[in-house]
Structure 1
Amino acid sequence: MSVLELRLPPPIVALVLALLMWLTPAVAGLVQVPYPARVLWAVVLVCIGQGIGIAGIVAFRRAKTTVNPVKASSASSLVIQGVYRYTRNPMYVGLSLTLLAW
């Protein structure tokens, strides 16, 4: 197995991190933020995160290549347009922002 081969797909990484985030308050305690502010920030972060993730998928579709990170060998082109001009992993950035909103 090559060092560059993907070990865990992004959604699995996000689920593991979500589980750890769910368990964190039991260990660390809660920071109290007023409810309306929490909801507002959560909605903003989810929208931005999902927008970045969807932009990554759209860039792959426009390049007519696979979105599946497990089957990197079936990729037909290197995507450097759209959101990929700014980040190498927009799907991870999107999932991270969505988890941060939680």
Structure 2
Amino acid sequence: MPITAPLAIVLIVASFIGAANSATYVLGMLTSGGGMNPSKKLRGFWGIAQGAVTIMLILVGGTTALKTLQTASIAAAFPVMLVMCYSIYKALSEESV
């Protein structure tokens, strides 16, 4: 137990850092007109913007705001998931064996 808790924290932090890095890269690509190598200034801007929004959510609403955001994300993704499930079903039913 004394080793697993710090190791879990390190892995969670690494996961968040990787996800944030990917998100800033994709946002940079989208805002630079689809360029595969967005500038570091643009990626830095998106990183700071994401961090600022996160800090504001935590300071203003605490865990309640984060829970509300999580619920809204799930509710918004549900119709998309239904369409994806239908599309997969349709594609698999058309597949010839």
**TM-score between the two structures when normalised by the length of structure 2:** 0.36
**More helix as a share of residues:** 2
Computing the radius of gyration over CA atoms, which structure comes out larger, 1 or 2?
A: 2
Q: What is the TM-score when the length of structure 1 is the normalising length?
A: 0.35
